[in-house]
Chains A and B, each alone.
Chain A
Amino acid sequence: MEKKITIQATRFDPEKDRAPRLQTYEIPFSDQSMVVLDALNYIKAHVDGSLSYRWSCRMGICGSCGMMVNGTPKLTCNAFVRDYWPRPIVVNPLSNFPVVRDLVIDIEDFMRKLKSIKPWIIRKQDLPLGAGEHRQTTAQIDDFRQFSQCINCMLCYAACPVYGLNDEFLGPAAIALARRYNLDSRDQGTRERLPVIAHSEGIWECSFVGECSVVCPKGVDPAKAIQQTKLDTTMRFVLPYGNRE
């Protein structure tokens, strides 16, 4: 007998619906390699063309297919159906974000926050190209390497209870990326980023639940970035001449 899997997906069309609802689909589960995203793609191709969601790379690096899978923020491209079957799989849009349509969330808030932390190398004087590269040791790269792995998938914001209550909170990914640049030996912009990061809605909001680091699919530890930044910022106030630049 052919195996089946039940998928329940959030449907919401702002042109028609006042509230989101769940729609149930029963589809064949024929392949052990099938992921939740494959199931959604099967539904869209063969059952219901109107189901909307984002996806692209299908290899856990583009960051676009994040959704709540049975209540947990996941990249659906590596959430295997076999790990849920025979129980039904409930797929909702990522928590803590406004919903645009069905499983598509609005990430404009993050896009603004990303820009606000100035995620680029800031230097007093740019090195001319002809001077070659900045020298950097492997140990210096190791200082910021993990924070540079963020794929902007928003799983950490979906898991963050503080962001859930207060969307002014800068949030885990933006702080981790600020930390990434502050820790880069080529950068001299820590002081410029400080006003945004040390703002009351910045790091001090974090109550250190640590869920952001648990759900991160890339092994980034935003909770650590936040704690480090708290310490760093405090040291700047206590020791005004101790700046790294």
Chain B
Amino acid sequence: MDFESYDVLVVGGGLAGLRAAIAAVETNPRVKVGLVSKVYPMRSHTVSAEGGAAAVLRPEDSYETHAFDTIKGSDYLADQDVVEAFVREAPLEVIQMEHWGCPWNRDPDGKISARPFGGMTTWRTCFAADKTGFHMLHTVFQTSLKYPQIHRHDEAFVTKLLVEDGRCVGVVALDQRSGRFDAITAKAVILATGGAGRVYAFSTNGNICTGDGMALAYRAGVGLKDMEMVQFHPTGLPYTGILITEAVRGEGGYLTNKDGERFLKRYVPNKMELGPRDILSRAMTTEFEAGRGFEGPHGQYMHLDVRHLGEAVIDRKLPFMRELGREFVGIDIVTDPIPVRPVQHYMMGGVDVDIYGATSLSGLFAAGECANVGLNGGNRLGSNSLSECLVFGAAAGRAAAHHASSAGAAGANPVAALLKDEARRVEDAYLDKRGGEERIGVIREQLQKEMDAGAGVFRTRDGLGKLTRQIGELRERFERIKIEDSSRTFNTELTAALELDFMLEVADAITYSALAREESRGAHARRDFPERLDGEYLKHTIAHHTDELAPRLEYRDVHITNFKPQARSY
């Protein structure tokens, strides 16, 4: 049997995946790269990132300050060697994006401009208006088109990693157009599939953010690190969860409660609106509980007010926010305050990788939001994630290219057998379930609602314990799903079922990891354990897949270099 075969195969066509693909061919122009994405790359969720990409480019800034801001923001759960390497690479990557055509906003001297961002002590967030992710993604995608060595498989859904003799040798992918299962082999595979925010109901994440890469690696025996660390962004639009960028606060926006009070003075008096996301989300939730939010048809909300900035600043620096206000809320942010509330936004947790993106499985790498390299710890600072996709996407691309030059090709016979097994598994588990009774959409909505309730901004043992049982029940119901769509052609019901299967795995890893961490650190706020306990929990949680409902949890020490843990106050 013939299979498409590559030196390096990238799964995911967002910023990290495309950066990895380009890095691989620039490391070695003879490397043949495959890029599999379940959507066209320019539809990837990077497109929704708004505020900017952090990098030390200004003379008044320093690597040390960027590192310290990141480590303090992480509530000391970041690996400090990783952070130190990251802050040195980020400026080069931002300049590389400039050379590739990214329309960064500029200072009067023509250099790349920067804006302030939450938790960053100086202006280091480079931006392209408030569509930074959109512009970066289109820049890197369009640039990738000039490399003939990069072969794309668009709208192909990876259902399984091919593992042979303890190494990853490729993937099985469902071509959505034809409905055919293909084995795509490679000497090295990079997962860059993005986050898993859609396990929550109220999220800024696109429909495609279902944790596929995390679940693929997890099932192949690779650990998921710090999955309890789920970021809630303080400012999402009620109902839709559309992100109102932190740049709105960076540019000087105020958050006020129904009494017209800038309530953050009670929580982060020295930083106010420029406090980090985890603290602001908790502050808002606490205010809601005290009844100091505005009441709306979709629950309580606060006001985010930029009226005092004036139309000129808004149009130069926040034009997309004005567009979103007009089109989705029916307000003009020049004259009206924006209704906002905390919303799931980002997964700090992900596939356990080292600084080169390598996992414990030979030949398998990961980068971007689906990976956890140890940069973000308990709370990611805004504008570090776009830079992370560049720095660690490039690192994984280079490492995979090197790995490919020394690894042998996969043997065809075991791959043929593995492909056949996987195609049959999906047939049996999904397409032959026309007699089932459970609707995928209904199970999915239930999962999302329960995750919001049990693993949200604040957690408790009771809530998390109940959630583990609810997820268990949903898994049982998932066994009885009904697939109405019998077509092979673009069967989005089948892909939604495959995604839901992955989401249940990820939700389980989040919940059990959260239940076991009996302290409060970063985004993980336990009402029953409000203190940070460095003696016991200055450690990464690693969740390993088992055949039971509960994962096997291990812990690993955090790498501390120059910054000793101290109380986190702002």
A contact set with B: CB distance below 8 Å? 13-16, 31-33, 41, 44-46, 48-50, 52-64, 78, 100-102, 104, 107, 111, 114-115, 118-121, 126-127, 129, 132-138, 141, 144-145, 148-152, 177, 181, 184, 186-187
Contacts and interface: CB of A to CB of B under 8 A. Distances in A.
Contact of B207 (A14, A55, A138, A187): A55
Given A48-B484, A78-B327, A100 B48 contact: no
A148 B208 CA distance: 24
A111 B490 contact: no
B490 A56 contact: no
B48 A57 contact: yes
Interface string B83-106: 000000000100110111101111
Given A62-B43, A102-B490, A150-B138, 19 more contacts: A13-B487, A15-B488, A44-B441, A44-B492, A45-B440, A46-B439, A50-B487, A52-B491, A52-B492, A55-B207, A56-B208, A57-B207, A61-B48, A63-B42, A63-B43, A64-B43, A127-B99, A152-B42, A186-B101
12 contacts: A57-B47, A60-B324, A64-B39, A100-B490, A111-B154, A119-B145, A120-B100, A135-B111, A141-B105, A149-B131, A150-B138, A184-B101
A59 B487 contact: no
Interface stretch (B157-165, B236-244, B275-283, B407-415): B236-244
A50 B99 contact: no
Given A49-B441, A60-B327, A133-B95, A114 B145 contact: yes
Contacts of A129: 92, 95-96, 99
Contact of B239 (A33, A59, A152): A33
A49 B42 contact: no
B483 interface: yes
B71 to A, nearest CB: 26
A133 B504 CA distance: 45
A104 B179 CA distance: 14
B473 to A, nearest CB: 19
Contact of A133 (B112, B208, B483, B496): B112
B336 interface: no
Given A59-B324, A62-B43, A45 B442 contact: yes
B485 interface: yes
B445 interface: yes
Nearest to A38: B240
Contacts of B105: 138, 141
A132 B59 CA distance: 13
Interface residues of B, number: 66
A136 B103 CA distance: 9
A55 B44 CA distance: 11
Contacts of A118: 145-146
Contacts of B490: 52, 100-102, 104
A100 B489 contact: yes
A151 B493 contact: no
B463 interface: no
A59 B240 contact: yes
Interface centre among A56, A61, A118, A177 (most CB of B within 10 A): A61
Nearest to B242: A59
Interface in B279-334: 297-298, 320, 323-324, 327-328
B344 to A, nearest CB: 14
B110 A46 contact: no
Interface in B33-49: 39-40, 42-45, 47-48
A45 B441 contact: yes
Contact of A148 (B96, B135, B328): B135
A134 B110 CA distance: 8
Contacts, number: 172
A134 B103 CA distance: 11
Contacts of A145: 103
A81 B435 CA distance: 34
B97 to A, nearest CB: 10
Contacts of B19: none
Nearest to B208: A56
Interface centre among B44, B240, B243, B324 (most CB of A within 10 A): B240
A13 B206 CA distance: 26
B330 to A, nearest CB: 9
A223 B331 CA distance: 29
Interface centre among B47, B327, B492 (most CB of A within 10 A): B492
B190 to A, nearest CB: 22
Contact of A49 (B109, B297, B493): B493
Contacts of A151: 42, 47, 134
A56 B482 CA distance: 23
Interface in B194-245: 206-208, 239-240, 242-243
A62 B485 contact: no
Interface centre among B101, B110, B177 (most CB of A within 10 A): B101
A187 B483 CA distance: 51
Interface centre among A54, A78, A137 (most CB of B within 10 A): A54
Interface centre among B92, B142, B496 (most CB of A within 10 A): B142
B5 interface: no
Given A58-B206, A58-B240, A50 B484 contact: yes
B143 interface: yes
B143 A120 contact: yes
A115 B42 CA distance: 13
A56 B486 CA distance: 23
B187 interface: no
B142 A101 contact: no
Contacts of A141: 103, 105-106
Contacts of A78: 327-328
A135 B486 CA distance: 56
Contacts of A60: 323-324, 327-328
A111 B42 CA distance: 11
B239 A50 contact: no
